[in-house]
Amino acid sequence: MRALGVDLGDARIGIAVSDSGGSLASPVCAIDRAPYPDGGHRRIVELVVELEVEVVVVGLPLSLDGARSERALLAEGEARALAGLLVPLGIEVETFDERLTTVAASRAMRSTAAKRKAASRDRGALDQAAAALILQGWLDLRRARSNG
């Protein structure tokens, strides 16, 4: 099963996709929201169709204590909007706790000098990496639940 990971940001949306076996997430792109009247949702639908995705996983930015912050409520609203576009196509939309994924993505990208330079030039790379971390966490949890 192929899944698409989504990291919602104010300016950009990070996108990642899993392999067809549903075990490994890889960054794909970052969608700039500005050119899209719907904030990039239709572009996500295009990617879902193009990449033959069966489920979309939207990062849910819960507070550190697990409470739903204002940003989490906004993300849930966007997930519902995406579901309105995707469910008629037979595509599921789920949310997944993304606490600390952007921080983890930033730390991972800073691990080498070359990655640090790339991160400073391309903020979209950080959004993609965060989407890949969200999706990988969802894949790992799904696999753990099916094994035990």
The rounded percent of the chain whose pLDDT value lies above 90 is: 73
Residue with tokens 């192929």: 2
Q: What is the pLDDT of residue 142?
A: 92
The architecture in CATH of the region 3-147 reads 2-Layer Sandwich (3.30)
Angle 113-121/101-109 helices, nearest 10 degrees? Answer: 120
The domains of the chain are located at 3-147
Ordered strands of the 12-18 beta sheet: 25-32, 12-18, 3-8, 55-60, 92-97
Q: What is the reported pTM?
A: 0.86
Give 95-104 pLDDT, tens digit per residue.
999 885 655 5
Lowest mean pLDDT among 10-14, 94-98, 115-119: 115-119
Spatial distance between the Cα atoms of 101 and 61, rounded to a whole number of angstroms: 9
